[in-house]
Amino acid sequence: MSDEDRYKDNENDTLTDTKYNLTWTKEDSYQMRKKWCSWKGANNYIEWLNEQKFAGFDDWRLPKSQECRNLYDHDCKNTDFDGDIVHIDYKFPEGCGSTCWCVEEHGTNAIAYNFYSDRAYQVRKKAKDEENMCCRAIRTSGPAVKKSGRLSNTGRSRVGL
């Protein structure tokens, strides 16, 4: 499959990643709501999408950090809300947030993934809404696929494995 064919536009404000059988919202929470979100706000946003049956589905969730990592594409130079580079496919609209909440929790912290630096890291769940955090909802759209040449959850490739 060529990279050009990887993301299928579902014509309902979602894109399906055919490589991993995952469907992403085209716009992240910042693009849809024009405001940043805390950890609690990200979870409330997902709940809201499910209540609305966004794109006809009620099984939206926060992505795992590895799923964000699989979305990262160094060769793509899309732009975020501030005009800086984010490495996600051009089929996603410009103007997104660069740092997204992930589902993993560790006590008072949760994992966030940065599409500029290709890094997953812990952030305090109580981070304020204005700290430029967003979320991009995801749902499973087929059988799980184990295809990952990018094994590290931190964003650092492990060479020689």
Q: What is the residue extent of each domain of the chain?
A: 63-132
Please provide the DSSP assignment of 13-38 as one string. Answer: SEEEETTTTEEEESS-HHHHHSS---
- For the residues 35-58, what does the mean pLDDT come to? 96
91-137 residue pLDDT tens: 999 999 999 999 999 999 999 999 999 999 999 988 765 578 999 99
Q: H helices within 53-148, ranges in order?
A: 65-71
| pLDDT value at residue 157 | 47
61-91 residue pLDDT tens: 999 999 999 999 999 999 999 999 999 999 9
Going by the DSSP 8-state scheme, the letter that residue 43 receives in this structure is H
Count CB neighbours of 151 within 10 A: 11
- For the residues 135-144, what does the mean pLDDT come to? 91
| pLDDT value at residue 4 | 66
- For the residues 131-144, what does the mean pLDDT come to? 89
| pLDDT value at residue 159 | 41
6-25 residue pLDDT tens: 999 999 999 999 999 999 99
| pLDDT value at residue 150 | 55
Query: What phi and psi, each to the nearest 5 degrees, are found at residue 51?
Result: -65, -35
| pLDDT value at residue 126 | 82
Check if the beta carbon of residue 100 is closer than 8 Å to that of residue 33.
no
Confidence of residue 158 (pLDDT cuts 50, 70, 90): very low
| pLDDT value at residue 129 | 57
DSSP strand E in 38-83: where? Answer: 78-79
